[in-house]
Structure 1
């Protein structure tokens, strides 16, 4: 008999948001942006995952793992994604990642920028999303 969890249509559901990082979010020298900025993006993406998967905004309850791999800078264009990798009765485990897909190049000019090919992976995380149970 097939395990019903292995055929859950929510498994593999992936949502991606793309956002420009404004200079107002730079808090450190070199126009660096704090890691909380990207975690906030993961919260927004997880909310859309919950809406699509369960018809409710749900709640991003926490992270079991967060890895900051490279710096995020003002002027970056970030792509934040979450994929459903496990479905429980009321919880969903999400694999989250963020990539810089374009980056400012102020050394070439005030508005100079380039597309990064390949994108630069800056954050990876594993998150738990909680949604109301069927009995709520």
Structure 2
């Protein structure tokens, strides 16, 4: 029998502020997106287990494209495996809108299609369920 919790998907969107640009071309470091995955994984744990859990680690992290200040990032975590106390999550991030400073200081555009920027697998750990009554 398949666990009905498999496939649960949570998505957050966040504007990337200019204060996070650390490199030329308004580039943002990869840790910014990994931190966003942590926030999404926390919501997954709350929905599945009624606890914030702990993001124990990432594997197979791939940086696929640049994240820049002024981007709107969409981060998604999908539950792909459920263990006794662990959950494996497929995490993806994409830029859904991007600043266009060449058009003007506040110009931006929706990207269609969105630009994939990070993919990772995360392991989420939750506490043992309480027993007794």
TM-score of the pair, normalised by structure 1: 0.94
The residue matched to 2:35 in structure 1 has which SS? helix
Which of the residues 123, 126, 132 maps onto 2:127?
Answer: 132
2:35 matched residue in structure 1: 40
1:19-34 → structure 2 map (5 Å cutoff): 19-34=14-29
The one of 49, 68, 83 aligned to 2:63: 68
What are the residue-to-residue correspondences of 1:88-103 with 2, within 5 Å?
A: 88-103=83-98
Equivalences, count: 131
CA distance in 2, matches of 1:112, 1:64: 36
Deviations 1:100-124 (A, max 9, x none): 0000000000000000000000000
CA RMSD of aligned residues (A): 0.9
1:17 aligns with 2:12: yes
Q: Once the 2 structures are TM-superposed, how far is the Cα of residue 64 of structure 1 from its aligned partner?
A: 1.5
Counterpart-to-counterpart distance in 1, 2:121 and 2:20: 24
The secondary structure found in structure 2 opposite 1:73 is coil
- Structure 2 residues not aligned, in runs of 5+: none
Q: Does 1:87 align with 2:55?
A: no
2:72 paired residue among 65, 72, 77:
77
Structure 1, unpaired ranges of 5+: none
Structure 2-normalised TM-score? Answer: 0.96
Instruction: Provide, for residues 56-77 of structure 1, a one-character-per-residue CA deviation record: whole Å limited to 9, x for no partner.
Output: 0000000121000000000000
